[in-house]
Structure 1
Amino acid sequence: MIWLDRLKKNWFLIGIVVVIVLARLNPPLGIKGGPLKPEITVKYLAVSFIFFNSGLSLKTEELMSALMQVKLHVFIQCFTLMFVPCVVWLLVQMLTLTPIDPWLLKGLLVVSCMPPPVSSAVILTKAVGGNEGAAIFNSAFGSFLGIIVTPLLLLLLLGVSSAVPVSSIFLQLSITVVAPLFIGQFVRRFIKDWLERTKPPFGQVGSGMLLLIIYTTFCETFSSTSLDLDRFHLLCVVCVVLILQLGLILLTFLLSRIERLGYSPADTVCIMFCATHKSLTLGIPMLKIIYHGFDHLSHISIPLLIYHPTQILLGGFLVPLIRQWMTNAQNSNISDIL
């Protein structure tokens, strides 16, 4: 029954394929306002459950230790909110020489300005066994920071400015990220012994929530009328996004393995996901606010709609490979110490 063992081992990858197929067969089921009500079940319940799950499973001392890793946090935030926009700006300057729709290229700039996501980076870091505490902090802090930094970056790169309802976004992040995390940590104090004894499948539960997010994301993608563009332009953007993400992941891996920086293998995993992922859940509302009434809003939104599922899919496929690398790296470090 080797094939059955392989199915169990790669259930998450199989689940990704299944939910994408289901989304393609019936997109209206998972779109905003549809029967599944993702504007509630995903935006609030699923994301909140992910962070409650993290708070419940993460040892308090590990979370507090992660908060003190200032050098790691600075690296991730500077990379995602400073380095990535600069790289994409240079890339777009070169791509203007190609026949790709210029508004799609502006959409790539918009993607580069977005903060890290509040769920996928944490789930993927946890799935590999990386520094989950640091991933949680950077996802939450990066989202708060993005509320201020992202509009400024858009103004600098695209010359567009608008008022962003900071208070409402802060409230949403507090409800869906901060509060569930602290509630999970509080509940953990009373059932710590039971958790240590039974070892519930927190990783699998979190991955299941991520599959729901993937499903609703692709429902929105497949049902979007904004995808009525020339297939050549769309294919070009997909290729650019995929190459960009692979390049950024490889670059973060190489940089984080510089010995002088002193990052552990678990830190490297956190950096690879948190520093390269961009938020759709914060990005789309920001775009609708900043570009309200803009004729080309649908065009500049497309790269973000492509980037988000691509980062989850690519991350999901890389999980087994990165997990194997991290295990080998940790074993090698232990052998060196001994």
Structure 2
Amino acid sequence: MARPKFLPDNFTLALVGTVTLASLLPCRGSTAVAFDWLTDIAIGLLFFLHGAKLSREAIVAGATHWRLHLVVLLSTFALFPLLGLALKPVLSPLVTPALYTGILFLCTLPSTVQSSIAFTSMAKGNVPAAVCSASASSLLGIFITPALVGLVVSNHGEMTGSPWHTVGNIVLQLLVPFIAGQLLRPVIGKWVDRNRTVLRFVDQGSILLVVYVAFSEAVNEGIWHSISLSTLAGLVVANIVLLALALFSTAFAAKRLGFSRADQITIIFCGSKKSLAAGIPMAKVIFASSTVGAVVLPLMLFHQIQLMVCAVLAQRWGARKTAADKSHKSEAAAAVRR
């Protein structure tokens, strides 16, 4: 039986369970140190497997469609940060300063890969372009995100070091394993392709580990004493406003620039979404451990909101395209009979 579209998926439920576990049984002392090492290993393994999974053909494919990719990258790394800064006087009163730091952080993140491609496919968009654009966003985000964080997050005391020092840490922890996976793809690529469930397990497991460690630290610092239900409601409103403006802006720009329907869909889904899988590991590297829990909370909520909204849009647009194709076939058949 299919899950109703507005109910959270199993992974979102697992995230909620992990936050609950960290709230009730946070790790401390030597246990926290052990978990911290474990998360570093899991994140390195995650990016290694992603490197082994992504073919070089997929990296190069669609690169000639530069106008589409440029619009997506500008939306991801320019429009979002500008929206985060411009909306600060309006939205920051709804949340705490630490939570708005998390909103600014999610504005700097790359686009998702898997869900952007999946929604583009459901809506009958340009899937090859989505693969190339989302992959490029994910790779470039390793360098662009920490630099943007240094520009848009005013309280640099929450960061573990300078932006360029952070870039070095991210390159070491994320890009080096990715490149190693790419180099070993001729050896292990087919095994990875046959065992996608392993990658999904590592993907989701590493995120859950980071969330548990981050929220354990946050609970130890008293996060739930500083965040009320009204503040959480304000955070939901802030995320909805941000996503709505991003969806409208990408749709408006794609149409005004004369892109085809398929390309417009790709721009909307790739240009309006933010990556939980990339964001949580990056937050662990960029921000001090005592602030990571509050920083990733806006991203976790934004992730669920974007999945629910984009699922509805993808299903609706896909159904319209299917109906239009059937109508065209019927008209063509009628013309042949005449």
Regarding TM over 0.5, the answer is: yes
Q: Is the 8 A contact 2:146 2:163 kept in 1?
A: yes
Looking at structure 2, the residues matched to 41 and 176 of structure 1 have their Cα atoms a distance apart, in angstroms, of: 13
Instruction: Choose the corresponding residue for 1:121, options 105, 112, 117.
Output: 112
Q: Is residue 54 of structure 2 the alignment partner of residue 58 of structure 1?
A: yes
Q: Is residue 221 of structure 2 the alignment partner of residue 186 of structure 1?
A: no
Three-state SS of the structure 1 residue aligned to 2:61 is: helix
Looking at structure 2, the residues matched to 244 and 315 of structure 1 have their Cα atoms a distance apart, in angstroms, of: 11
Return 5+ residue gaps in structure 2 as ranges. 122-126, 333-338
Q: Which stretch shifts more, 59-68 or 274-283?
A: 274-283
Looking at structure 2, the residues matched to 122 and 20 of structure 1 have their Cα atoms a distance apart, in angstroms, of: 22
CA distance 1:318–1:239, shift in 2 (3 Å): closer
Looking at structure 2, the residues matched to 162 and 52 of structure 1 have their Cα atoms a distance apart, in angstroms, of: 25
Query: How far did residue 327 of structure 1 move?
Result: 5.5
The amino acid of 1:260's aligned partner reads G
Looking at structure 2, the residues matched to 329 and 77 of structure 1 have their Cα atoms a distance apart, in angstroms, of: 28
The amino acid of 1:134's aligned partner reads S
Taking only the aligned residue pairs, the percentage that are identical comes to 13
Q: Is the 8 A contact 2:210 2:281 kept in 1?
A: no
Looking at structure 2, the residues matched to 49 and 221 of structure 1 have their Cα atoms a distance apart, in angstroms, of: 25
Looking at structure 2, the residues matched to 30 and 67 of structure 1 have their Cα atoms a distance apart, in angstroms, of: 45
The amino acid of 2:116's aligned partner reads T
Return 5+ residue gaps in structure 1 as ranges. 290-296
Q: Is the 8 A contact 1:80 1:116 kept in 2?
A: yes
Give the match for residue 137 of structure 1: 136
Q: Is the 8 A contact 1:253 1:272 kept in 2?
A: yes
Looking at structure 2, the residues matched to 190 and 162 of structure 1 have their Cα atoms a distance apart, in angstroms, of: 38
Q: Where does 1:125-204 land on structure 2 (aligned, <5 Å)?
A: 125=116, 128=119, 131-154=130-153, 164-191=161-188, 198=194, 200-201=196-197, 204=200
Give the match for residue 40 of structure 1: 37
Looking at structure 2, the residues matched to 117 and 61 of structure 1 have their Cα atoms a distance apart, in angstroms, of: 25
- Count of residues in correspondence between the two structures: 315
Looking at structure 2, the residues matched to 330 and 48 of structure 1 have their Cα atoms a distance apart, in angstroms, of: 41
Query: How far did residue 325 of structure 1 move?
Result: 5.5
CA distance 1:226–1:71, shift in 2 (3 Å): same
Q: Where does 1:1-338 land on structure 2 (aligned, <5 Å)?
A: 2=1, 6=2, 13-27=9-23, 28-29=25-26, 34=31, 37-42=34-39, 44-65=40-61, 69-94=65-90, 104=96, 108=100, 111-112=103-104, 116-117=108-109, 121-125=112-116, 128=119, 131-154=130-153, 164-191=161-188, 198=194, 200-201=196-197, 204-205=200-201, 206-229=203-226, 231=228, 234-251=231-248, 254-255=251-252, 257-258=254-255, 260-262=258-260, 263=263, 265-274=265-274, 279-283=279-283, 286=286, 288=288, 304-317=295-308, 320-321=311-312, 324=315
Q: Is the 8 A contact 2:160 2:285 kept in 1?
A: no
Looking at structure 2, the residues matched to 121 and 305 of structure 1 have their Cα atoms a distance apart, in angstroms, of: 16
Three-state SS of the structure 1 residue aligned to 2:113 is: helix
Three-state SS of the structure 2 residue aligned to 1:78 is: helix
TM-score normalized with structure 2 length: 0.67
Three-state SS of the structure 2 residue aligned to 1:121 is: coil
Q: Deviations over 1:197-232 (max 9, x none)?
A: x46436633345444445445545555414423626
Between structure 1 and structure 2, the one with the greater Rg is 2
Query: How far did residue 285 of structure 1 move?
Result: 5.6
Query: How far did residue 334 of structure 1 move?
Result: 8.2
Query: How far did residue 307 of structure 1 move?
Result: 0.9
Give the match for residue 293 of structure 1: none
Q: Is the 8 A contact 2:48 2:178 kept in 1?
A: yes
Q: Is the 8 A contact 2:71 2:267 kept in 1?
A: no
Three-state SS of the structure 1 residue aligned to 2:226 is: coil
The amino acid of 1:270's aligned partner reads C
